[in-house]
A and B are shown apart, each in its own frame.
Chain A
C-alpha cells in the first residue's frame, strides 16, 4: 500500500505518557514506528510537521448523529464528516434516534449505515430501557452482540431508581457500561436555563444545580450498591464534581465526562434569549465552570465529550421556551479545550488524554494510542491556527453553536483513519 513519515511533530501520546518532538511512520494503515528520529524509507511520503501536534485520533464518547429519524438535522455521514474535521476519528452515538436504538435491529442499521457512509468510526450506544421509557430493560446481550458498546437512556434518564439498579446489576454479566444523564426530572421540570441570578433577570424558569447533583448522587449510590460500572455524562456543576471526586476516593466504579461548553461558557451566554446557549444540563455559573476545570485537572473528570446535538432552525429559531436543548460541538472541541492548555489549567497531555485514551478505555474500544502496530487513527493539530466559525466552515448539517461568528484558535489540519487521510483540507497528503 503506502507509507507516510511525519517528521518534526510534537507527538503527544498519553497512553504511553509520551510528549516529545519526533517522527512517526504509518505503513499500510498501521503505525509502524515512532521515535525521535526515524530513517526515511524510500517509498514513504515525508511530511515535515514543523512542531505541529501529532496525537491519537480523538474519540468523542457522546454525540447525537440523528440517524435514523431526524436526517434533516444530521446524518451518520454528515456527523462523522464534522467529526473528522474536528480531529475525531471515532464517535459514540446516543440512542435517542427515532426510533430509539433499543434493539439489535436498530444497532445493526446504524452500523450498516456507518459502514457505507461514515467518515469516522461509529460506536452505537444503546438504550437502557425499551423506547427510553424507563420501564423494561433492553436486551443488553443481543445489543452488545450487534455492536452496541454501552447503555444510556440519555435525555430521558431512568426515573425509577429500582430500574436503574437492575440495569447496573444486569450490565455486569456483560461487563457493560451504564451512562447516566443525571437529571432529577421533577426538580428540573419546566426549567430552561440554570437557576440563578440570570434566570431571574431574564424571567426564565431555572433548573437548579441540585437537579443534576441529586441524580449524580443517586446513580453513584446505586453503582456502589451493585458494584456496577457507571459513567456520568456532561458534568456541569461544582457539586457534581465533588460528589464524583468523593465516590472515586471510596473506590466506586465511576467515570465522568464534561463538555467544552461547560468549561468555556456560563449562564450569561443566555442573555438576549440566545437559543444557541440552551442545553441540558444548562450553562452554569463561573464558580461551576472553574470547578469543572478543577475536575479535569485532578482527574475527577476523565473525559471531554462534546454532546454534539445538532438542531435545525425549526427547533432553534423560535421562542426560548420552545427551543430544543443542545448545541453542536464536534468542530469546536479542539480550540475550546486548547484554551485550557493555553491558560495553563491543564497540560497538552491531559487534554489529549481526556479526548483519546480515556474515553477509549471507558468504552472498552480500541484506539486512542500511538503504539506501534495500532491502526493509524491520527489527528494532526495546528494549535496556533486562528479561524472564524461560520455556517460555511462547518461540516455538520446544523449550525446551532454559541461560538458561531467567533474567532477560535487551534484546529485539526489532517485526520487519518486506518492510515487514510480522511480530512486533509490543505492537501498535505496525496
Chain B
C-alpha cells in the first residue's frame, strides 16, 4: 500500500517528516538498481516524463532523465531555447500544449519562484519542481538528507551548517526546511549581503555571521556554489576576497567535529567556496550526493506515478 498521497512535489515546505522519511526509504530500496549490471526495471513502462527546463542545468536534468529511464519511463526534454517560449508563447500556453500530449509527469525548472505552483493550476499531470527561482529545489534537499542519513545513520540532533549565498539559494531554502523537519539543528553563515537582512533566523535556521562560530561542532557542512555572475550586484567585492574570508579551507574544517561530512550541490568553483583538498578530502561525500540524486528522483517518480494508479 502506497502511503504517499501528494500529487506534486513543489517544495519541502509542503512535505511532512513522514512523507520525507517515506521518500528516503523508497530511494534506499531503489538505489540497488543503480549497482546492477542491467540498470533498468519496468515499473514505469508506458509512462511519460517531460523535462521542461527554462534554465541551463546539466546534473539535475541528467539525474532526472536517468531516474526516469532506469524505471522504464519514456522521457522528453524541452529546454527554454528549443521551446516556443522565445516565440512569445506564454508559459501557460506552453504547459497546456504539453498537457495536450498526455504526459504523466512534468519536471520543471524555471528562473521565477512559484512557476511550478502556477503550472499545477493548468495541467493534470503531476509536477515536480526541479528548482524555481530562489524558492525551492526539493529533490536536491531530499538527496542531501538521504546522503547524510546514509553516512551518519540519522538526522535528529545533528548540527548542519550551510555556508554561502543563503538568501539567493533555492538549495539552501529547501535544505534548511528538510533538515529542520527531520530534527537537525541548522546554522547558516556567509557574507551579510547573502543573508536575509535583520533576521536572526531564516526558515528555522539560525543565522551566525562568524564562520568560525557557525562551524563549531558541526556534523555536516554544506557549501553552496558562489554564483560568479552575482558579483556585478555587489554582493561580494571580489571572488578572491570571498575565497579568503568565506571559502571552506582545511583549517576551517578542523573547527567542525572530526569526520564532519563535506557536501556541495555542485558544480564546484574549486578554490573559491571550497579548497580543492577539502572537496577531495576523506569526508567529502559530494559524489555520493550525485549518485543518490538518481535514487531520490527514481523514488519521487515512482511514488507519484504508482499512486496515480491506486
Contacts and interface: CB of A to CB of B under 8 A. Distances in A.
A associates with B: yes
A205 B134 CA distance: 8
Nearest to B201: A197
B231 interface: no
A273 B90 CA distance: 17
B115 A319 contact: yes
Contact of A320 (B90, B113, B134): B113
A200 B117 contact: no
A186 to B, nearest CB: 11
A131 interface: no
Interface string A188-218: 0000000101001111110010000000000
A201 B203 CA distance: 7
A272 interface: yes
A318 B91 contact: yes
A322 interface: yes
A246 interface: no
Given A203-B132, A318-B91, A321-B133, A273 B118 contact: yes
A319 B135 contact: no
A322 B133 CA distance: 13
B134 A273 contact: no
B203 A273 contact: no
A203 B92 contact: no
A200 B202 contact: yes
Interface residues of B, number: 25
A273 B113 contact: yes
B91 A204 contact: no
B183 to A, nearest CB: 21
Interface string A263-292: 000000000110000000000000000000
A89 B308 CA distance: 56
Interface in B105-135: 110-115, 117-118, 132-135
Interface in A124-144: none
Contacts of B115: 319
A200 B196 contact: yes
Given A200-B202, A203-B135, A203-B170, A321 B196 contact: no
B29 interface: no
Contacts of B173: 200, 203
A197 B199 contact: yes
Interface in B189-216: 196-197, 199, 202-203
A317 interface: yes
Contacts of B118: 273, 318-320
A273 B13 contact: no
A273 B202 CA distance: 20
A200 B204 CA distance: 11
B136 interface: yes
A366 B118 CA distance: 47
Contact of B203 (A195, A200, A272): A200
Contacts of A272: 117
A204 B113 contact: yes
B269 to A, nearest CB: 23
A221 B113 CA distance: 38
B203 A203 contact: no
Contact of B112 (A195, A200, A208, A322): A322
A197, A203, A318, A320 — most chain B CB neighbours (10 Å): A203
B197 A273 contact: no
Contacts of A321: 111-114, 133
A210 to B, nearest CB: 10
A319 B112 CA distance: 7
B197 A195 contact: yes
A270 to B, nearest CB: 9
Nearest to B137: A203
A273 B117 contact: yes
A195 to B, nearest CB: 7
B90 A203 contact: no
Interface in A299-341: 317-322
Contacts of B134: 203-205
A320 B112 contact: yes
A319 B117 CA distance: 9
Interface string B72-86: 000000000000000
Interface string A352-394: 0000000000000000000000000000000000000000000
A318 B167 CA distance: 24
A197 B173 CA distance: 12
Contacts of A200: 167, 173, 196, 199, 202-203
Contacts of A205: 134
B91 A319 contact: yes
Nearest to B166: A200
A318 B92 contact: yes
Contacts of A201: 13, 203
Nearest to A204: B113
A204, A273, A319, A320 — most chain B CB neighbours (10 Å): A319
Contacts of B113: 202-204, 273, 320-321
Interface of B: 13, 90-92, 110-115, 117-118, 132-136, 167, 170, 173, 196-197, 199, 202-203
Given A318-B118, A321-B114, 11 more contacts: A195-B197, A200-B203, A201-B203, A202-B114, A202-B135, A203-B113, A203-B133, A203-B173, A204-B113, A320-B112, A321-B113
16 contacts: A200-B196, A200-B199, A201-B203, A203-B114, A203-B133, A203-B135, A203-B173, A204-B114, A208-B197, A272-B117, A319-B110, A320-B113, A320-B118, A321-B111, A321-B113, A322-B112
Closest 3 CB pairs of A and B: A203-B135, A273-B114, A321-B112
